[in-house]
Amino acid sequence: MAPIQHPTPCGMSTTLGIVDLNEDLLTLKQTSRSKFSQLPHEPVLQSLLDTFFRYCQNQPYVYFRQASFYRRFEKKELPEYLLMAMVALAARFSHEAFFESQQLEATTVYGRTTWNQIFDKAFDDDHDLVDIHMVQATNMLAVVDFTAGRHHLGWVKIGLAVRFAQSLQLSSEPRETLSLEEQDERRLTFWSVYLLDRLASCGVYRPPTIVDSDCSTLLPSDSPDTSDTVPSLRLLEEMDLIHEMGSMDPFVHTILMASALGRVERQTLQQQGSNERYPPWDSRSDFAAIYSLLLSFEGHSKITDVSFSDAINAHYIGTDGLIDHQKAGHFVFSTMLYHMNQCILHHPYLFRKRLESCKAQAPLSFVREVLRRSFEHAERLIVTVRTIQELGMTISSFYGYAMVVGGVVCRLFSHHDDNATSSAAKQLCQYAMEFLEHGRRLWGHYPKMAIALENFSPDPVVAGALVAATRSTGLCSDPSLQSMENLLDYGWLSDPARDPARFKFPAVNDRAPTDQVHSPNPFLSCEDNGMPNILDGEGVSGPPKLSSSDVRPTTEDQIVQIAGEGPSYDYGCIVLKDSDFDGVVQIQQDLELDLTTHLELDPWESFLADGRDSSNPFNAAKTPALRWTAHQLH
């Protein structure tokens, strides 16, 4: 009788336990015993911890205050697995010679070794109960897996981090017998788990695990060494009381917008709004409540009072004249989340699907206003994230998803019948593509997102109707929009196992050549120069399904399978100097969509030609010389 053949995720076959040891698996076995399976020596470790606090702290997660961490580190009170998880996150940002240009490998091996230790400690019957460091490290490893494209494993670790947090009752207020420092760390850790749960739940079939009503612990305080704290998350339901709070920890702003994201996801992506009693234009509807909530946050945070770049220059420049990445982290992230929430809430496709369930006819003025908001916030979203990149600020792994959200909306508006609107949308979509292409040097899932966005080619007639102020119905069933929901699914966009050709939208013969987005910049693809891209993560593939062997860690002796210028327009130019993206301009009342002015930004290759690029993606220009031109629409 012939031996039974067992298919494996990587296309190999095994014969009753005999593994076909190809070169990749042998390499992985060797690296499992490499120097990356143990902590580096003290000077290198200290450097990597400093890198963690510079580029990972408040980006957007924060588990402890830096001073408190270093006190315990010096006393050797921190477990090895926590330090290794921090190293796994910091490695991609480091230029330490220790890595020998193998940051990707180091991230993978450190992450695997950390997971083995956590698993053994957490599920050993004879071991003590789970502690807070297990929650912190597991949450960090979930980020490592997600950004490497191993989103199935990432989901498992997010789930475990949530359960670990629940077993420690982190969602409830800490005991008063704990020191203020310990209470603060418990709150920070829980809200970081909450935040990752919300961000990873961006998708149609991915409801968040943590429910807001279960979160009774207080929000973080900007004065953790005192007994002064801010209220719990119920504050979000009482935004009219926010003005009484005065200044709040910037982390709170991020949490509030993450909570709002959960409501936006349920209303739009998970289509709970379709079962709502009131239509979205009714003031009693959840749609109206969410929009009111977002506007209340905007009023309290004043994030749109001045330009994004002016706010950075005014509040987040350190004594050395450089941007304080850690201090600016949550201001940047909450601003991004605000515009993304608005963008998804008013998304043309999701909005049209909601209208299909309404018995009453939608007021055309309401349709027009929703479309205006959609494009306005897509524009703000793309410009904000682009500014972050050009200022040399830390690029969060989540910014790629935000750029796809904004890019998809702009791709739809590129088929609008107003030429100025269409042209501005095409250029904004190109900016989104350039961001993703350039970001591949740092995050392995960005190239997958770039492919998905570039392949999005909706039928021009259908897309034009989708963004027109009409009551047209049945548009969402058009074949050229068949995978729109995938483009709004964070997990799908990050999955290296998906076949891009399978999800490519039907080709459109009359697609305008300017819709084709190609990057002429040789720096955007290391492969084009014959150089391996150690940070793109493309060599790490993940299986489409998760087996128990993927979850249970392996011993060191076992083979480990790793889951794997745009055109110029003569419309009366307004020059905004020093990156003043948000200058106040007049809006023409006779424009169909009543759109704000659009920005014609320098193309990315001009940015590079000015010498503002370097091997370190975080080096900002010493002397900003960009001039940004806004064109008023007709």
Task: Please write down the HEC assignment for all residues of 550-597.
Answer: HHCCCCCCCCCCCCCCCCCCCCCEEEEECCCCCCCCCCCCCCCCCCCC
Instruction: Name the burial class of residue 343, with classes exposed (0-12), middle (13-18) and buried (19+) by CB atoms within 10 angstroms of its CB.
Output: buried
pLDDT at residue number 456: 93
575 occurs within a structural domain = no
Across 186-197, average pLDDT = 97
Peptide linkage before 520 cis (omega within 30 of 0): no
Encoded tokens for 476: 């969402």
CA distance 118 to 127: 11
Q: Specify the higher pLDDT residue, 372 or 274.
A: 372
Residues contacting residue 452 through CB under 8 Å, at least 6 positions apart? 404, 486, 487, 493, 500, 503
pLDDT band at residue 302, thresholds of 50, 70 and 90? confident
Q: Quote the tokens at residue 465.
A: 């109707």
* Residue 611 φ then ψ, to 5°: 80, 25
pLDDT classification of 244: cutoffs 50, 70, 90: low
Residue 270 pLDDT: 81
Residue 224 pLDDT class (50, 70, 90 cuts)? low
In which band, very low, low, confident or very high, does the pLDDT at 246 lie, cut at 50, 70 and 90? low
157 assigned to some structural domain = yes
Give the C-alpha separation, 340 to 265, whole Å: 11
Q: What is the pLDDT at residue 239? A: 59
Q: What is the pLDDT of residue 565?
A: 37
Q: What is the pLDDT of residue 10?
A: 39
Burial 503-512 (b: 16+ CB within 10 A, else e): bebeebeeee
262 falls within a domain = no
Please identify which residue in the block is written with the tokens 């909005």: 351
- Asked if residue 547 belongs to a domain, the reply is yes
* Rounded distance between C-alpha atoms, residue 41 and residue 54, angstroms: 20
What is the distance between the alpha carbons of residues 48 and 110, in angstroms, rounded to a whole number? 13
CA 192 vs CA 68, 150, 217, 252, 361: distances in Å: 17, 20, 13, 11, 42
Q: Which helix (H) or strand (E) holds 628?
A: strand 627-631
Least confident stretch, 116-125, 288-297, 484-493, 537-546 = 537-546
Distances (CA, A) of 71 to 48, 75, 83, 381, 469: 16, 6, 14, 39, 60
In a domain, 139, yes or no: yes
Q: Measured over all CA atoms, what is the biggest interatomic distance in the chain, rounded to whole angstroms?
A: 81
Q: Say whether the peptide bond before residue 79 is cis (omega within 30 degrees of 0).
A: no
Q: Which whole number is the average pLDDT over 416-432?
A: 96
In whole numbers, what is the pLDDT of the chain averaged over residues?
76
Instruction: Report the pLDDT value the prediction gives residue 125, as an integer from 0 to 100.
Output: 65
Tens digits of per-residue pLDDT, 452-502? Answer: 999 999 999 999 999 999 887 777 788 878 788 899 999 899 887 775 554
- Residue 188: pLDDT band (50, 70, 90) is very high
Which pLDDT belongs to residue 17? 38
Distance from C-alpha of 30 to C-alpha of 19, rounded to nearest angstrom:
16
Answer yes or no: is pLDDT of 5 > 60: no
- The structural domain count of the chain equals 1
- The SS3 call for residue 508 is coil
Residue 585 lies in a domain: no
In angstroms, the CA 66 to CA 228 distance is 20
Considering the domain boundaries, does residue 532 fall inside one? yes
Percent of the chain surpassing pLDDT 90: 50
> Collapsing DSSP states into helix, strand and coil, what is residue 128?
coil
Task: Give the C-alpha distances (Å, rounded to integers) separating 467 from 41, 144, 274, 418.
Answer: 58, 37, 20, 11
CA distances from 273 to 261, 265, 290, 395, 472 (A): 14, 10, 11, 33, 19
Alpha helical stretches, state H, 414-569:
419-439, 446-455, 460-466, 490-494, 548-551
On whether the pTM is more than 0.85, the answer is no
Say what the pLDDT of residue 245 is.
59
Question: Which residue range is the domain that position 30 belongs to?
Answer: 22-200+525-564
What integer is the mean pLDDT of 566-581? 31
In a domain, 263, yes or no: no
Please report which confidence band the pLDDT of residue 43 belongs to, taking 50, 70 and 90 as the band edges.
very high
Per-residue model confidence as pLDDT tens digits over 126-145: 556 789 999 999 999 999 99
Structure-model confidence comparison of residues 566 and 403, the more confident one: 403
Q: Exposed, middle or buried by CB within 10 Å (0-12, 13-18, 19+), for 269?
A: buried
- The tens digit of pLDDT for each residue in 500-539 reads 554 444 443 333 333 333 333 322 333 333 333 333 333 3
Spatial strand order of the sheet with 598-600 comes to 573-577, 627-631, 598-600
Taken in order 325, 329, 335, 336, the sign of the CA dihedral is positive
| Structure-token pair, residue 360 | 């009453």
pLDDT tops 80 at residue 577: no
